[in-house]
Structure 1
Amino acid sequence: MREPLEQIASQLDALVQQLGAAQRRALARELARVLRASQQKRIAAQLNPDGTPFERRKPQLRAKVGRVRRTMFSKLRTARYLKTEATPDEAVVAFTGMVARIAGVHQLGLRDKVDRLRRIEVQYPARQLLGFSADDARTVEDLVLEHLAR
């Protein structure tokens, strides 16, 4: 089975190419905005793009009693770090700066240093922060058709 994004591209590519550059950029900007909101919502719900939950955190050894726990990646999913970019040819949703490295470690399940001074490294489980789900494919298709209808 082909990727959902490839299916959409093959079906709607000819119609979108008939639009002018400014209209394609506006469509890409709208797509990026909607996809960022979708990614933020999915990260807040701690779900991978395929709908499976993120692997749970390991229990902390020195967790303080009565401490308020934040959800995983609460700052990472804000618009400050999760940026959108739109050109007439593409819409991009990506992490920026130092956060991109941290997100990449979690996305791919790599090893990273927890404590730089003591040089403690940890193998993180793969948690797909950014990804394209079936719902996203339907949303993109609907947005493109709605934009073409206008």
Structure 2
Amino acid sequence: MMDELGALEKWAGGMLAQLSPAARRTAMRDVARELRRSQQARIASQRNPDESAYEPRKARAAKRGKKLREKKGRIKRAAMFAKLRTGRFLKIEADASGLAIGFAGRVARLARIHQFGETERVAPGGPEYRYPARVLLGFTDTDREMIRDRLLRHLTQSA
């Protein structure tokens, strides 16, 4: 991912340097907002940046021979990371020198565990589990095209 960022910075850096600081800040904020929207939509659709599906959650085991749920009906399997992808936690920072998109606060640790597939305790004092890598933040081909288009739009408007 760092190679992608370096290539993008090299491509856009020279052109963005021609803009005034206020115009650069506006361009960065516009790109950051749109990039956050696309990341939120991709996380909601449970897809990695390479368009592969997230590995599904592991089924919970029943305790002491009982069924996990004895009521009629089904257990609703809600989408993962529903709160994590909200604007409250998925923050953007944009200024004239660049932009950043990431998770804020204590959820950043949870996001890192899933992003890189790290090992963590399931509950305090509970067993450890190696979570599968579910890439929350990353560039798709559509994201790259959107960044290019947004930057070119700002460059042509200011010229």
TM-score computed with the length of structure 1 as normaliser: 0.91
- Amino acid paired to 1:87: D
Number of residue pairs matched by the alignment: 148
Identity, in percent, stands at: 41
Which deviates the most, 9-18 or 131-140? Answer: 9-18
Aligned-pair distance for 1:9?
A: 3.0
Q: Find the aligned partners of 1:7 and 1:122 in 2 and give their Cα distance.
A: 36
Gaps of 5+ in 1: none
The within-5 A match list for 1:42-121 is: 42-62=42-62, 63-64=68-69, 65-116=73-124, 118-121=125-128
TM-superposed deviation, 1:149? 1.6
| Counterpart residue number, 1:39 | 39
Whether the aligned pair in 2 keeps the contact of 1:28 and 1:87 (CA below 8 Å) is: yes
Moved beyond 2 Å, runs of 4+:
2-13, 62-69
Instruction: Let me know the Cα RMSD of the aligned residues.
Output: 1.7
Residue 134 of structure 2 corresponds to which residue in structure 1? 127
Q: 3-state SS of the aligned residue for 1:126?
A: coil
Which residue of structure 1 aligns with residue 65 of structure 2?
A: none
SS in 1 for 2:106: helix
Q: Structure 2 unaligned segments of length 5 or more: list them.
A: 63-67
Q: Secondary structure at the match of 1:28?
A: helix
Letter of the 1:113 counterpart: R
Secondary structure at the counterpart of residue 115 of structure 1: coil
TM-score of the superposed pair, with normalisation by structure 2: 0.86
Contact 1:83–1:94 (Cα < 8 Å) also in 2:
yes
